[in-house]
Structure 1
Amino acid sequence: MFKGITGNVFILGLVSFFTDVSSEMIYPLLPLFLTGLLGAGPAFLGAIEGVAESTASLLKLFSGIVSDRVRRRKRLVLAGYSISALMRPLIGSATSPLAVLLIRTGDRVGKGIRTSPRDALIADSVDPSLRGKAYGFHRSMDHAGALVGPLLATFLLAYVVKDLRQLFWLAGIPGLIAVLLIVWKVTEAERSPLPKTGLRLGALPPGRLRRYLLVLFLFTLGNSSDAFLLLKAGAVGTPSYRLPLLWAFFHLVKMVSSMPFGALSDRIGRRAVIVAGWCVYSLSYLGFGVARSEWQIWLLFAVYGLFFGLTEGAEKAFLADMAQPGERGAAFGWYNFAVGAGALPASLLFGGIWQLEGAVAPFLFGASLAAVAAVLLLLLIPPTPATGKERL
């Protein structure tokens, strides 16, 4: 099952697991902490997430380009995870909404620094024919952490700690474990760095890699925040106490499906699996648009979770196949920037359409963009040769 998962890939998977345990012990409770204890409103919560994620998107691009020009990507990965591990538990000491904004932004600065170099290091550390499996494994570990984190937080609040601040401080422990794993176990992959000049932040990669990023950006414009899906779940009558269980179930599907579908992309081709995933997304969004009962929502979350399993590993492996070895960091920087840059307008569009046209129209919009993106991917981007002949 784990054939081809190298030491670096395995350890970076554990790093993501412990980091997500730490993050998800805090993140689901952050709105309650802000509005209940610190007196912030929903608008300020939106501002915090908007500033934090925008900062991370820009830094992912910059750090990816820089990582191609340094000999040790590990240093950037370590710096990014260390910043997040130090900043995240400080929320336990926050006494104002502004302090949470600064701490949350610092956490996302760390994410922006580490993500693209880490993705490039995974590509450097695994055989090209097994990249899909490697990225699928990494995403599975990430989702496992996202599943364990809220459950651990629930247990600690029920039996160990008395308030949210104590819980937030405890969330620093798995973050520290992640940092120590990088220091002790992650090794640098052999490669020749590019010259340390000419970062060219404004230059998109050429050829099919550029076309792939543009199609991906188009798809992302229809891929709004999953918070709208929870809103839909509540609208059809799902009780509030079952929403965390629904969310945990969603992460379980993503965790179980990511590695098998990533490995499938190694056998039948990345493009085929990505197109299948985007079609699953389109169908699930059509379903969310017309869903009228709770059992339908649970079924749709299962289908929607398969979309993540199909695409998260395959999309990154497809990018690594197309990028030149010396420019993988920059390629992942642009990939992460395209996804991050499309996320904010996607949610604004979705929310605006919902408000103006009702709850069905925005899901139809997202489904339509996904279908168009799938067709364009087939028409504009040929399959990569790294995984052999494609069957689609």
Structure 2
Amino acid sequence: MTTPPASDLPSTPEQERWLTPGVRGIGSASFLADVGHEIPTALLPSLLTSTLGAPAAALGAIEGVSDALAGAARFGGGVLADDPARRRKVAVGGYTTTAVLGAATAVATSVWQVGVLRAAAWTARGLRVPARNALLADIVPTSAYGRAYGFERMMDNLGAIFGPLLALGLVAWLGVQWAIGLSVIPGLLAGVAIVYAIRHTPKPASRDKVPLRIRVRPVLQGGLGRLMAAVAAFEAGNVAATLLILRATDLLSPGHGTHTATTIALGLYTAYNVAATVASVPAGRLADRLGPRGPVLVLSGGVAAFAVSYSLFAVSGAAVAALAIPFLLAGVGIGAVETAQHSAVAALAPTDLRGSAFGLLATVQSLGNLAASTVAGILWTALSPTVAFTYLAAWMILALVGLLFTTVRRAD
């Protein structure tokens, strides 16, 4: 006799100890995987331009294609992850393949080889995301979704901080190509961590394979559909953090010089990542304490933080302290939003559609981020940074209205 998923069982004091070996395994996998892929990401510009002599346009093309494939793969990964047995294989394969292909760019001898390896690695990375999120929902009770997803987000953000720092150390010690090659070690350790997590996950209740079917309409029924609409509005204004760095650099350069301004801007970006890391678990705890409406309320708070942050970026002056406030607000906002999005989808999605629900969420995130960065960049160039950030803030306000509607409907 097999055991049903933890989220389908009544909550007991034992289950309330949510930081189980399975949760720790998934969190460790997120940390190690982020460290592993942040190293080649941080060093890719140097590899292409300095080592292979490629123009900057090649970097943009490679990253654009890779991001697009990752977004498409997340949708496909969601379909695969509807099957509890299949999602385990996809998670393990996704982590290990990303590690190997990402590190393999170290031995590439031409730009096209780097492009193929990067695109393939990002596709594998996209495939594993819905499987990981669905696995996490399998091993914790509904009342602990916020804390579990907050922990996973915290570990992921820690990896984003530690990875570039490790890259700098490895480059100083061994050089760019060796540093990229060694990124396979934390990447493969992430695969080991996800295997450890799976070993502490209840086995699927049924051994029958779930047919591969694209199921969008059933996912969008009821409360989950209203939530996805609000999330889509948020993601349409959730611009890439590189534009925040550019805004700070532009404002600081006249008074500090380009080099110093860039250094300060990167320091502010580090503070953004630290704020996201620190905010993730408290946001999850708050979502759990507030009951069924908790994830949506925490999500609303995170979106509100973004609205204020973008408004400040639109009017901010060149003072470092004044710029630190919107960076920190955006960091707290993303920590709260990512945690709340995942816990809300886990709670609202039917058990047999969890993979598709997380795949759809990831696709909305990818397409929304692409649209936000593209439109904001055009507005920035054609009009002004103020107009660009005002546009982004307007999307945050629209998302808040959608979340308010979702909250009211849940109360009814």
Does residue 273 of structure 2 align to residue 251 of structure 1?
yes
Alignment check: 8 A CA contact 1:116 1:332 kept: yes
Q: How big is the shift at 1:93?
A: 0.9
- Farther off after superposition, 175-184 or 116-125: 175-184
Distance in 1 separating the partners of 2:308 and 2:90: 39
- Assess, with a 3 A threshold, how the Cα gap between structure 1 residues 19 and 340 changes in structure 2: closer, same or farther: same
* Residue number in structure 2 paired with 1:12: 26
Alignment of 1:324-335 (within 5 A): 324-335=350-361
Q: Check conservation: 1:146, 1:251, Cα contact below 8 A.
A: yes
Counterpart secondary structure, 1:197: coil
Please report how far the alpha carbon of residue 149 of structure 1 lies from its aligned counterpart in structure 2 after TM superposition.
Answer: 1.0
CA RMSD between the two structures:
2.0
Q: Could you tell me which of 128, 133, 151 is aligned with 2:165?
A: 151
Whole-Å Cα distance in 2 between the matches of residues 330 and 260 of structure 1?
A: 27
Q: Deviations over 1:131-188 (max 9, x none)?
A: 0110000000011111111111222233x21x20011111111112111222344324
Would you say how many aligned residue pairs link Structure 1 and Structure 2? 383
Shift of 1:231: 0.5
Residue 397 of structure 2 corresponds to 371
Q: 2 CA distance for matches of 1:308 and 1:66?
A: 27
CA distance in 1, matches of 2:328, 2:390: 19
Partner amino acid, structure 2, of 1:135: Y
CA distance in 2, matches of 1:67, 1:226: 29
Runs of 4+ in 1 over 6 A off after TM superposition: none
Which amino acid counterpart does residue 377 of structure 1 have in structure 2?
Answer: L
Identity score, percent: 31
CA positional deviation for 1:335: 0.6
- Tell me which residue corresponds to 2:187: 175
Give the Cα separation in 2 of the matches to 1:191 and 1:328: 14
Partner of 2:287: 265
Cα distance in 1 between the residues matched to 2:183 and 2:355 = 30
Unmatched 5+ residue regions in structure 1? Answer: none
1:90 to 86, 97, 104: 104
Change (3 A) 1:95 1:242: farther
Identify if the C-alpha distance between structure 1 residues 334 and 382 changes in structure 2 by more than 3 Å, giving closer, same or farther: farther
State the TM-score, normalized to the length of structure 1: 0.92
Counterpart residue identity of residue 139, structure 2:
S
Matched, 1:230 2:245: yes
2:385 aligns to what SS in structure 1? coil
The correspondence of residues 27-176 of structure 1 with structure 2, limited to 5 A, is 27-158=41-172, 160-161=173-174, 163-176=175-188
Deviation for aligned residue 1:199: 0.5
From the superposition, tell whether residues 383 and 248 of structure 1 become closer, same or farther in structure 2 (CA, over 3 Å).
Answer: farther
Show structure 2 runs of 5+ residues with no match. Answer: 1-15, 253-259
Code of the aligned partner of 1:246: L
Deviation of 1:25 after TM superposition, in Å, equals 1.8
**Alignment-mate amino acid for residue 40 of structure 2:** I
Q: Quick check: 1:57–1:341 contact (8 Å CA) kept in 2? A: yes
Q: CA deviation at 1:318?
A: 0.6
CA gap 1:204/1:219 in 2 versus in 1, 3 angstroms: farther
CA distance in 2, matches of 1:44, 1:134: 39
Matches within 5 A, 1:300-315: 300-315=326-341
**Cα–Cα, structure 1 residues 208 and 185, in superposed 2: closer, same or farther, change >3 Å?**
closer
Q: For the Cα contact (< 8 Å) 1:83–1:109, is it kept in 2?
A: no
